[in-house]
Amino acid sequence: MNILMNVFKIFTKYWDMLLEGVGMTLMLSAIAVAFGIVIGIVLALMRLSNFKIGKVKPLGAIATAYTEVIRDTPLLLQLYFFYFLIPMIFPGVDLGKIFSVALAMSLNSGAYVAEIIRSGIMAVDKGQTEAARSLGLNYQQTLRKVVLPQAIKNILPALCNEFVTIVKESSLASTFFAGDIMTQYKTINSITYLAIEPLIVSGIIYFVLGFTLSKAVAALERRMKND
């Protein structure tokens, strides 16, 4: 009973801090996915490129290496890497921990989005490409006007699911006190000396966010199937 009362008190007393944490979590996630999509498109096109030097496809090799390194190492390690790397690259310039965290999350998301986009492009019927080329469209025009519009429609639910995943993974940003939900948990914990109750509050918030976003994605998928 005391736990429930403490949970209620935390919600009512620290709602402004919690709301600020939700805002920062959503902002970091939105930035990561937005830039991740841009990075993902570039990587996907690099992997699908037929450009060769001899028998080697350098663009594809670079994109594959990047994707494998990012996907096969933990996000927390990448967060630490960029948190310490950026001050070394820009000595004397304080770009801030938020920038470092957002950059690492964007580069991480880009590797996963690249595979989503690549699979979406490859799923488009080759007959569509052949028909476009027979009508006189070059490779770039075919990609931009025929392939990508169909691929985006196929991969949109997966991109939305990537956003849901990033929202949960953004909790790692609390390692650097970036102001997200888990950062607020640590702050409330240090003020109240309560461990379980702030965790329950954070869990409820993450659940509500994840459940709401997942239902929105499911509704989008149903609508796209009906279309």
Q: How many CB atoms lie within 10 A of CB 149?
A: 11
Please report the pLDDT score of residue 1 as a whole number.
Answer: 64
The residue range of the domain holding 29 is: 2-226
Residue 221 has pLDDT above 80, yes or no: no
Locus of tokens 């918030």: 205
Its pTM stands at 0.85
Please report the pLDDT score of residue 202 as a whole number.
Answer: 95
- List pLDDT tens digits, range 31-45: 999 999 999 989 998
Q: For the chain, how many structural domains are there in total?
A: 1
Residues near 103 by beta carbon (within 8 Å), at least 6 away in sequence: 82, 86
- List pLDDT tens digits, range 134-186: 777 777 777 777 777 777 777 888 888 889 999 999 999 999 888 899 999 99
Count, in order, helices (H) and strands (E) of the chain. Answer: 10, 0
Q: CA–CA separation, 224 vs 89, rounded Å? A: 45
Complete DSSP assignment for 147-206: IHHHHHHHHHHHHHHHHHHHHHHGGGGGGGT-SSHHHHHHHHHHHH--SHHHHHHHHHHH
Structure token digits, residue 66: 């990047």
Q: CA–CA separation, 76 vs 149, rounded Å? A: 34
Q: Domain holding 22: CATH number?
A: 1.10.3720.10
CB 86 within 8 A of CB 45: no
Please report the pLDDT score of residue 32 as a whole number.
Answer: 93
Which residue would you say has higher pLDDT here, 49 or 200?
200
Q: CA–CA separation, 75 vs 68, rounded Å? A: 13
Please report the pLDDT score of residue 90 as a whole number.
Answer: 78
Straight-line distance from the first to the last Cα atom of the chain, in angstroms, rounded to the nearest whole number: 50
Residue 94 has pLDDT above 80, yes or no: no
Q: CA–CA separation, 114 vs 63, rounded Å? A: 9
